[in-house]
Amino acid sequence: MTHIRPYTQVLDRLRNAALRPTRQRLALARILFEHGDRHLTAEHLHTEALQAGIRVSLATVYNTLHQFTAAGLLREIVVDAGRSYFDTNTSVHHHFFNERTGVLEDIPGGDIVVDRLPAAPPGMTIKRVDVIVRIDR
Amino acid sequence: MTHIRPYTQVLDRLRNAALRPTRQRLALARILFEHGDRHLTAEHLHTEALQAGIRVSLATVYNTLHQFTAAGLLREIVVDAGRSYFDTNTSVHHHFFNERTGVLEDIPGGDIVVDRLPAAPPGMTIKRVDVIVRIDR
DNA sequence: GTGTTTGCAAAGTGTTTGCAATTTA
DNA sequence: TAAATTGCAAACACTTTGCAAACAC
């Protein structure tokens, strides 16, 4: 019996993405993927890592977030000019964004339906549809 | 006969917004509002103003864009972490965004229908719904 | 060993701010 | 002339980059 067991799932994710499971990547992946759906900025993740006693630089956090996004493990959400959020839920869904608190959260279920979507302009393809519901108070 | 006539509409907009029609504001307002629906960043507007021979600082362009937005003359659209677009069309509508070229444009007509929108979380109000259709190629 | 990854510090980008000088009403 | 506006330069927040040292395979 080893302590490798709990890491297995996260390790596999990294392996499948052809990313070496370095100490930093593994630790960041566990913070990201072992706690359900999360919406984090680079700063958030860096802070959490440091609080968990993981020595990792902010540059590496950025690198890792982009590598994970490129590998399809994360989705980048733009709601705020000035910073990026990364969402651990990569399936098709939409978001509530509270501009006052900066909290971004999933809209539950497949609730929203976007209808009568026009065709993309000639020669273009629709890559993604983002719906941001901005909430207040 | 004066040359004030063509400015009338734009002047009125500034007056209604209780913004003094200074040389800079008037010139920027004309670039923004005398050419149909536009989607510009601060840099775009600054460049256009300089090209048109209007001496205005970038700081003033930012101030002006925010004042116009606060007055309801513009709408700020966030599609790209790192820069803001300002839309001269303030009615309810949505956008195509080409991430490769950085071009943002209105989706024509009232085409898109967003349906089954969930209620805002307890105590919260929906302030706005933004739909961004990201296109490619 | 060899190629990948990391961390640092520096540079970059877009935006905001403080304040003296200028302009508007 | 009193209050609002402007422009500059410095400060900011977030992100990216270059490169030597450390690490994974």
Residues B18 and B69 in one domain: yes
* Token pair listed for B45: 């507007």
State, as a whole number of angstroms, the distance between the CA of B95 and the C1' of D9. Answer: 37
State, as a whole number of angstroms, the distance between the CA of B13 and the C1' of D5. Answer: 18
Flag residues 66-85 of B with CB < 7 Å from strand C. 66, 82-84
Residues A96 and A135 in one domain: yes
Nearest to A96 among B80, B121, B133 (CB): B121
* Token pair listed for B42: 């601060």
Can you list the alpha helix ranges (DSSP code H) found in chain A?
8-16, 23-33, 42-51, 58-70
Q: Please measure the distance between the N-terminal and C-terminal CA atoms of chain A and give it in whole angstroms.
A: 51
Can you list the alpha helix ranges (DSSP code H) found in chain B?
8-16, 23-33, 42-51, 58-70
* Token pair listed for A43: 């700063």
Residues B26 and B66 in one domain: yes
> Residue range A77-104: average pLDDT?
95
Best of B107, B127, B129, B137 to disrupt the A interface (most A CBs within 10 Å) is B127
The answer to whether the CB of B71 falls within 8 A of the CB of B63 is no
Last residue of one domain, picked from the residues B90, B113, B129? B90
CATH assignment at residue B47: 1.10.10.10
Give the integer Cα–Cα distance in Å for B81 and A100: 18
Residues A42 and A75 in one domain: yes
Please say if the pLDDT value at position B5 is more than 80. no
Residues A131 and A105 in one domain: yes
Residues A70 and A16 in one domain: yes
Percent pLDDT > 90 in chain A is: 77
Last residue of one domain, picked from the residues A55, A71, A90? A90
| Any A CB within 8 A of B130 CB | yes
Residues A107 and A56 in one domain: no
Q: Which domain holds residue B77?
A: 1-90
The lowest-confidence range among A71-75, B89-93, B108-112 is B108-112
Residues A70 and A100 in one domain: no
Residues B56 and B7 in one domain: yes
Please say if the pLDDT value at position B4 is more than 70. no
Please say if the pLDDT value at position A117 is more than 70. yes
Give the integer Cα–Cα distance in Å for A114 and B74: 25
Number of domains in chain B: 2
Nearest to B121 among A84, A132, A135 (CB): A135
Residues B54 and B99 in one domain: no
Residue B77: which H helix or E strand, with range?
strand B75-80
Residues A24 and A59 in one domain: yes
Please say if the pLDDT value at position B1 is more than 50. no
Residues A65 and A82 in one domain: yes
Q: At what angle do helices A23-33 and A42-51 cross, to 10 degrees?
A: 110
Best of A79, A99, A124, A125 to disrupt the B interface (most B CBs within 10 Å) is A124
Between chains, do A112 and B118 touch, taking CB under 8 Å as contact? Answer: yes
